[in-house]
Amino acid sequence: MFESLTEKLGSALRNLRGVGKLTEENMAEALKEVRTALLSADVHFKVAREFVERVQTQCVGQEVLKGVAPGQQIVKIIHDELVKLLGEGSTSLSSARPLKILMVGLHGSGKTTSSAKLGKLLKKRGYRPFVVGCDIYRPAAIDQLEILSKQEELGFYSDRTSQDVPAIGVAALAAAQTATADCVIFDTAGRLQIDQELIEEVKRLHARVQPDEVLLVVDGALGQEAVSVAKAFHDALSLTGLILTKMDGDARGGAALSIKSIANVPIKFIGTGEKTADFDTFYPERLASRILGMGDVVSLVEKAQETIDVKEAEKMAETLRKG
């Protein structure tokens, strides 16, 4: 994922990297290419436009660092703006115990496997997780969750005879308490598209179990549609975070760049493969570096910035000493 975007951003910035002086003309041309690259990667048009505007504002009047070409400085500015775009907002989970997590999303987004993967990750962090099968429409989803739970040695609860999802949720909390679990993950039903019935059912479950976290699981390959899905779930349930799945695929990846900004919900976890271990906390810096593919330039500018900061501090200390 992102290969095409990396390539296009690379060519947009390549021409700037070597220029000795930034002019409005060469900057405008490069930023136009950056905007085109973002749009062709399926980034929401509003996000692409605002991104380029922020970069432009920062570039104008930017003092050029010693030992760094102006074009290299722009690469760093774009990197920092990408990090902001992907990652402003907390990626940490609530400190409540037991920690109750409601997993929501469309059918096929990877909710059930993400529930087990999250359980595995939290177990590694010292939690005693308990996963709950609340998808009464797909017995196979409950079976899958049970198999994964056994595999990862997680607590598990389901009631295959009940059609009352909120009641299953309440019973699961009692079972989790008996098992001394301190984290309960509810895997809910999905649909092929958002419908009122699905939203109402999840809202009823939400009202009964009072989750501390509501995480929307989104297929990273969904593109623009991911944004409207996030908005619909956020309006109904006040999401606390996003889990992006299938980030190892070859889709254009624009959803990852748009969804956080439009839905105003932080990306908390990222799924990068089929195995339960292919799941981790989301680090915006890592993804920004991967998208830009210019880590060497970013490091160079950071070093130059540090040198200046040290010199400034020395200068200030000298002034204070004299004063």
What does each C-alpha distance from 167 to 98, 163, 261, 297 come to in angstroms? 18, 9, 35, 56
- pLDDT of amino acid 176: 97
Q: Is 129 helix (H, G, I), strand (E, B) or coil?
A: strand
Cα 135–chain centre separation: 25
Amino acid at 141: A
- pLDDT of amino acid 14: 75
Q: Is 228 helix (H, G, I), strand (E, B) or coil?
A: helix
- pLDDT of amino acid 105: 92
- pLDDT of amino acid 317: 64
- pLDDT of amino acid 311: 60
- pLDDT of amino acid 184: 98
- The answer to whether 1 and 249 are in contact (CB under 8 A) is yes
Domains delineated in the chain: 3-88 (1.20.120.140), 99-280 (3.40.50.300)
- pLDDT of amino acid 305: 61
Please state the pTM of the whole predicted model.
0.84
Spans of the chain below 70 pLDDT: 1, 17-22, 61-70, 88-89, 249-253, 294-323
**What's the Rg (C-alpha) of the chain?**
23
- pLDDT of amino acid 171: 97
Mean pLDDT score across all residues of the chain: 84
- pLDDT of amino acid 193: 75
- pLDDT of amino acid 159: 95
Strand order in 279-281's β-sheet? 155-157, 129-133, 183-187, 99-105, 213-219, 241-245, 267-271, 279-281
| Two tokens, residue 169 | 């949720």
| Two tokens, residue 168 | 């299953």
